[in-house]
Structure 1
Amino acid sequence: MSKKKKRQHYVWRRYLRSWSNSKDLIPSLIKFEKKIATTNLMNVAQEKFYYSLQEFSKEEEIALKGIISNLSNQDTEVIFQEYYELFTSYSKLKRAIKNNEIPESKLVEIEDKLDLMKSNLMEDFHSDFESFGEKLMQIKTVEDLKFLDDDESELKTIIFLCFQYVRTKRMQNIFTQKFQGHYKILPKYFHILSFVLATGMANGFRNYKKTKFVFIENISSTDFITSDQPIINLKEDERDEKGNVISLEFFYPLNPTIALKVHYNDGNKYGHLKIKEKEVKMFNNIIFKKSEDFIFAKNSKQLEEYKNCL
């Protein structure tokens, strides 16, 4: 890590290029401004230092460790503990500096490295996980999904999908609203817990139930749109008596003509659906509904109907 990464995207830019032109310009409906603009990919679905590491008190770290422990099982406890140690290391070192536990001769060097750690560490991990989705971006036919026959490729793809689902601004806002004022679960825990939740979801997909991948081919003249919540759970509204989501069925538009649906297996690992305008619009309406600040399309004209719904 040699340079601070200021603009940190919560939607993968490589993914959004499927809707942009050769100059990385993408038609965007900016919901909070109620306007349509053609914007550079660097300027959408991003926030300065979005993944910056937080400082915690000792008590907050103990509480966070307990939350992570409660979310762990035999499969995940080691990796969850590693997440905890890694992403609280910045806070521990900052506290050591404040308590004069670091030799003065080392302070300048350590503080420079800490500044980079704060801004870049978690962002770098997300970049690594994004690379797991590269093969998905290249699929054009259902046969192209067969790379998932390889166990390692399947695992990396599931991890990629779960992280792209959880990492977004919408998910952060939902988390913050749910736990605002909570005595134990603090909003500033979100980014660390997003790693825990995404990994737990991937573990559930991979180890407890077989996964089905459905190639969805859009044969209509209406494009798929996408948003700053590019992966949606089609079963998000199905909840138990405590309000917890009870199942997962991911829908992920890969480009204007191809989408992927991922859910628990019904006996076949792969499926192929060809859908017409009615179904495309149904999925697009869900994408619009579940978006936070941005809707993206291949052309500005398609965004007009969604602007009228704001």
Structure 2
Amino acid sequence: MKKRRHHYVWRNYLRSWSDNEQIWCVRNKKVFPTNLMNIGQERDFYRLNELTKKEVSFLTLLLNQHSSEAIQKLNHGWMELFTAVFQIREQVNKHELSDGAFEAEIEKQIINLGEDFHCKIEEGAIKFLDGLLDNGTNFLADEDNAIEFIYYLCVQYFRTKNIKESAASSVSELDLLDVDKAWNILSHTFSTALAWSIYAERSQWSSVILENHTSFPFLTSDQPIINTYAAFGKQVKDHDELEFYYPLSPEKALLLTKKAEYKDMPSKFLNELEASGYNDIMINMSHEQIYSFQKEQLEMYVQKYNKMLNRD
């Protein structure tokens, strides 16, 4: 069966803000309740696209720029995975062996493969999210768990519509690659490269559970993992300007940071100013949608946003 609703925000993740599969959402300054199936998704978002020879050559050149041969090999594997279906179809058609059933199966794989792969990554991450919600980061001491979880975080960061459109905008003038066509490959290669960088420097990173028991519960959005250094239009230029903030529920969030003040700090209880500040960053870094389990909280932020516009 073809899966046409492709979620770029994991539904299971959003359940921490939902009640009976219903969640409060704000879009275009309108606050409304909706089902989890209807948000953070787009029809055929992960649909595979056949690349031209020019695009394949450019991608190959791009992947070969990484300093690690191991990462080059992994990233070429992503390109092979997401282009194989078109090569198979080309060979079958070349030998005139195609029929209706074959074409139907090829079309199903073109539509489903990207979404199915994200589902597998998400299934593997359930144990990590459950552990984090119980204030546990001990699993990161195990190398295999650390690799899997860091990769999961990077995938959730790069998989979204927001990052996809930002990437497309940044290379549009080069006219060497249609980012929309190649996004399944690019998002996983970016995730792999960043995850390797974080893993290689893992002794410098701290995983901190942020506890929020204030009157400003954590919000989340259609860009649920954010780099706090990039908030409010700041241009990130330095390798070390990376700090992942990832709300896990209205009461808990994960901060992955290199800042010395968090060294050997497993958790931190936030005050109202700090909790509100993280929500402001989440709103600023969102793309189209912001989520809460409280209608009133979203209405408050819409009102605050309108007042800011009126002052400007």
| Structures share fold, TM-score greater than 0.5 | yes
CA deviation profile, 1:218-261 (whole Å, cap 9, x unmatched): 12122100000000001223533xxx765311000100000000
1:255 matched to 2:252? The reply is no
Query: 2:169 aligned to 165, 177, 182, which one?
Result: 177
Contact 1:205 1:264 in 2 (8 A): no
3-state SS, counterpart of residue 281 of structure 1 = helix
Query: 2:127 aligned to 127, 130, 135, which one?
Result: 135
Amino acid at match of 1:10: Y
CA deviation profile, 1:46-88 (whole Å, cap 9, x unmatched): 0011000011122222222222222462231221111111111
Residue of structure 1 in register with 2:219 after alignment:
225
2: distance between equivalents of 1:164 and 1:247?
Answer: 19
Query: 1:40 aligned to 28, 32, 35, which one?
Result: 35
2: distance between equivalents of 1:190 and 1:74?
Answer: 22
Residue of structure 1 in register with 2:142 after alignment:
150
Contact 2:51 2:182 in 1 (8 A): no
Contact 2:16 2:250 in 1 (8 A): yes
Contact 1:238 1:246 in 2 (8 A): no
3-state SS, counterpart of residue 151 of structure 2 = helix
2: distance between equivalents of 1:87 and 1:111?
Answer: 17
3-state SS, counterpart of residue 229 of structure 2 = coil
1:51 matched to 2:43? The reply is no
1:27 positional shift: 0.4
Residue 293 to residue 182, structure 1, CA distance change in 2 (3 Å): same
1:26 matched to 2:23? The reply is yes
3-state SS, counterpart of residue 216 of structure 1 = strand
2: distance between equivalents of 1:93 and 1:127?
Answer: 24
Residue of structure 1 in register with 2:8 after alignment:
10
1:189 matched to 2:190? The reply is no
Residue of structure 1 in register with 2:286 after alignment:
291
Residue 81 to residue 113, structure 1, CA distance change in 2 (3 Å): same
1:166 matched to 2:158? The reply is yes
1:107 matched to 2:99? The reply is yes
Amino acid at match of 2:50: E
1:123 positional shift: 1.1
Amino acid at match of 1:44: I
Alpha-carbon RMSD across the aligned residues, in angstroms, is: 2.0
Residue of structure 1 in register with 2:80 after alignment:
85
Contact 1:87 1:192 in 2 (8 A): yes
Contact 2:208 2:254 in 1 (8 A): yes
1: distance between equivalents of 2:269 and 2:192?
Answer: 31
2: distance between equivalents of 1:173 and 1:62?
Answer: 22
1: distance between equivalents of 2:156 and 2:113?
Answer: 17
1:173 positional shift: 1.0
Residue of structure 2 in register with 1:276 after alignment:
271
1:299 positional shift: 0.8
Aligned-residue identity in percent: 32
Amino acid at match of 1:152: D
1:214 positional shift: 0.4
1: distance between equivalents of 2:55 and 2:91?
Answer: 16
- Give the structure-2-normalised TM-score: 0.89
2: distance between equivalents of 1:224 and 1:198?
Answer: 25
3-state SS, counterpart of residue 268 of structure 2 = strand
2: distance between equivalents of 1:286 and 1:225?
Answer: 10
1:208 positional shift: 3.2
1:66 matched to 2:61? The reply is yes
3-state SS, counterpart of residue 75 of structure 1 = helix
Contact 1:209 1:264 in 2 (8 A): no
2: distance between equivalents of 1:247 and 1:297?
Answer: 28
Unaligned runs of 5+ residues in structure 2 are 307-312
Query: 1:205 aligned to 179, 198, 202, which one?
Result: 198
Unaligned runs of 5+ residues in structure 1 are none
1: distance between equivalents of 2:3 and 2:70?
Answer: 33
Query: 2:298 aligned to 290, 298, 303, which one?
Result: 303
